[in-house]
Structure formats: structure tokens, C-alpha cells
Amino acid sequence: MRTNALHAALFSIFVLLTSMLALHRSGSMRLHADQALLRGEPARAFETQYDQAFPAKTFGVNLWAAIDYELFGEGHAGVVIGREHWLYTDEEFRLENDADATLARNLALIVWLRDRLAEKNVRLLIARVPEKASIYPEFVGAHAWLQLHRELPARIGAALDAAHIANVELAQTLRDGKAQQPTFLRTDTHWTPFGAQLAAQAIGNAVAKLDLRFAAPTDFRQRREACAAHRGDLFTFLPLDPYFSWLLPPPDCVEAAHTEATSTSSELFGDAPPPQIALVGTSYSANPLWDFPGALQQALHQPISNYATDGLGPFAPLAVYLQSADWQHAPPQLVIWELPERYLPTAQHLDAYHVPATAFTTP
């Protein structure tokens, strides 16, 4: 109650001061003689002038965000402020209604998608990306990490194993790796290029156990750029620019990576068959900054077709791929599905991708 009262008082003072300033600036407004009163043109002109003069348009958003950030340790909906400038997506700290039922529906959906792949004798390997809070819990602070989120890895793993779906849990790999270098970015939802490389190596080990026969191995080489400042995607929920940007956490430093084949065989000049491995997933795979597909190619010594998509979650990209010409005419031997576990308790709306309602039910 005291926090709400303080918010209200600060907001009232702010609105009063900025409104008075805007009215003062708007007082210099001059109407043109040809602006018709009956058509409401003077009113529209005054509204435009007031909007331009009203400092709350940008400054106000920044100021209120600064008050929330500095006094209350909060950002806009979408971010959780941790300790020592660590930011987390709030998807790891909240649950929808009927989250348990939603989890069960999405696990059934995974089985349905596996069966669609199996219709063309394509194997599925799910690469389970853990929640950032499970890898770096020491910076979460006082924020409550809910019980279902704590249970997710065990529940997902048990369900996939029971359905005989090959999967690799990446949590321990990323947790162990942080003793060498950061495996998740401090101000971003995603893993670091180093974390992506560790994940690729773990996936490579899992693929080796599937007893698949691929084409002759290809060597790949990864090169790193100099470390450059990276404004994490979670800065979006801290609208402090431009007036209070000095309050923002320091940006991460990322060594962007790029991978290319080192072979000079004729396969690199258009004579090669389509890759026998397809990657689908989210921005963990789609964003070139982490070079996760390149790291996978290095680990597997095989070219990979990347069908990951940013901004659609993990399920829609696989549904889209199953409707593509590539899938219809040249299915691979293996699909690697990069799947962040935090999406599993979240309702998926896939009607636009021709996924039937029966896909969400256990057969």
C-alpha cells in the first residue's frame, strides 16, 4: 500500500509539472487565418502543438522508468531485475492459468510432431535449452522462482523418455561451463557464443549415439571477432534512453562468431546433395551473433540447413518447416529441434500453421 501511494504521489507531481510546462510552451501557438473553426482545425492544431510540447512524450517515459528502476528495482512487464545488473525474462518467473494442463498439452504436441517426422523416417533430437535462472540462480535475488519452473527439466525429460524421443538436456553442460566463461548473457535472454559452442558439443555427442549414417565428414572453421558491446534484448523493457541511459546496466561484451567450411571439394560449388541435418528452433539458433548453427556444423562435421525463426517461439518454426517444399521434396535424416524449456507451460496457438486441435491430446 505504501509503495502504491508513493507511486501515485510521484506520478501526480510529475503530470502536474509537465502539463504546466507544456501549456506554457503551447501558449505561444498562433493560428492561421484559414484554419476553419467549424471543421475543428484549431483544436487539431492545438492538440498537435501540445503533443510536441509535452515533455512526457519521451522524457516522461524515461523518467517514470528511471523511478521504477532506481527506487523499486523494477522494469516494464517482460523483465526481472536481478542482482549485479543481471536481467531475466519474466517468462521464467510467472505462470499462466492451468499451466500444468498446458504443459501436458504441449508434451502431447511434441509427440504428434515427432510422429509427423517419423512418417518420412526422419529422426528427431530435441535440444532442451534451460532457463537462464536455473544456470545463474545466484543473481536472481529475492524474486521467487516458481515450483513448476524448478520441476520443468525433470518433468520434460521423463515425458520425452517415456515417449522414446531422443533428447539432450543442456543445463548441466551450461552450468559446468560457466566456470570457464559466461554461458548466458547478463542483459540478454540468450546464451553466449561460448555457451552455444558447449551446447553444440553436447548435441554432437548425443547425435553420435543415434547410429545414423551421414555423408563424408566436412571440416568447418570458426573465427571470432573482437569483443564488442552488445545491448541485450532485455533492455527493451528498460526504456531509459536517451535521458537516463546512464542508469542502464553496462552492456555485455560479445565476440561474434562466424563458421565456414574449410573443404575445397566440388561439393562446395553446387554439386553437393542437400544437408542431411535440419535445425529448427528459436532465436537461440536464428540469431547469427551466437553462431549456434556454425558450432553445430563444427561438432557434427556435417552441413546443416537452418530453419530456425526469431520471434515465433519453438513450435511454429517446426510446423512451418513441415509445410515447406524442402520438407516435401528433400527431407533430412535428422531434425535437431532447439527447444527452450520455459515455453512448455505456455499455451501455443498454432491454428494458422494447420496444426489440428487433436495434436494437443495424448493418443
| Integer angstrom CA distances of residue 24 from 28, 44, 84 | 8, 18, 42
195 and 316 in a common domain: yes
Confidence of residue 31 (pLDDT cuts 50, 70, 90): very low
- In this prediction, what percent of the chain has a pLDDT beyond 90? 65
Question: Is residue 136, in this structure, part of any structural domain at all?
Answer: yes
Q: What is the pLDDT of residues 166-217, one digit of tens each?
A: 999 999 999 999 999 999 999 999 999 999 999 999 999 999 999 899 988 8
Percent of the chain with pLDDT over 70: 79
**Pair (69, 115) in one structural domain:** no
C-alpha pair distances (Å), 93 with each of 73, 106, 342: 15, 19, 10
Residues 144, 146: Cα–Cα separation, whole Å: 6
Whole-model pTM? 0.83
Residues 122 and 52 in one domain: no
Residue 56 pLDDT: 52
| pLDDT higher than threshold 60 for residue 23 | no
Least confident of 6-20, 34-48, 69-83, 209-223: 34-48
Residue finishing a domain among 45, 62, 88: 88
Does 37 score more than 50 pLDDT?
no
d(C-alpha 261, C-alpha 27), whole Å: 66
Q: What is the pLDDT of residue 329?
A: 94
Same domain assignment for residues 14 and 144 = no
Q: Radius of gyration over alpha carbons of the chain, in Å?
A: 25
* Cα-based angle 234, 238, 239 (whole degrees, multiple of 5): 125
Residue 150 within any structural domain of the chain: yes
Q: Are residues 83 and 108 in the same domain?
A: no
Name 128's bridge partners: 169, 339
- Residue 158 is assigned to a structural domain of this protein: yes
Report the number of distinct structural domains present in the chain. 2
Does residue 239 sit in the same domain as residue 337? yes
**Domain finish residue from 33, 63, 88:** 88
**Residue written as cell 542482482?**
83
Asked if residue 300 has pLDDT above 90, the reply is yes
Is residue 146 in a domain? yes
Structural domain for 297, as ranges: 98-360
Task: Judge whether 155 lies within some domain.
Answer: yes
The answer to the question of residue 126 being in a domain is yes
Claim to verify: residue 74 and residue 199 sit in the same structural domain: no
Q: What is the 3-state secondary structure (H, E, C) of the chain?
A: CHHHHHHHHHHHHHHHHHHHHHHHHHCCCCCCCCCCCCCCHHHHHHHHHHHHHCHHHCHHHHHHHHHHHHHHCCCCCCEEECHHHCEEEHHHCCCCCCHHHHHHHHHHHHHHHHHHHHCCCCEEEEEEECCHHHHCHHHCCCCCCCHHHHHHHHHHHHHHHHCCCEEEECHHHHHHHCCCCCCECCCCCCECHHHHHHHHHHHHHHHHCCCCCCCCCCCEEEEECCCEEECCHHHHHCCCCCCCHHHCCCCEEECCEEEEECCCCHHHHCCCCCCCEEEECCHHHHCCCCCHHHHHHHHHCCCCEECCCCCCCCHHHHHHHCCCHHHHHCCCCEEEEEEEHHHCCCCCCCHHHCCCHHHHCCC
What is the per-residue pLDDT for 52?
Answer: 52
Final residue belonging to a domain, choices 88, 121, 156: 88
Catalytic residue annotation? 188, 190, 283
Segment 246-268, tens digit of pLDDT: 778 999 999 988 999 886 544 55
* b/e sequence 244-275, b meaning 16+ C-beta within 10 Å: beeebbebbebbbbebeeeeeeeeeeeeeeeb
For residue 199, is it within any domain? Answer: yes
pLDDT of residue 271: 62
Claim to verify: residue 75 and residue 139 sit in the same structural domain: no
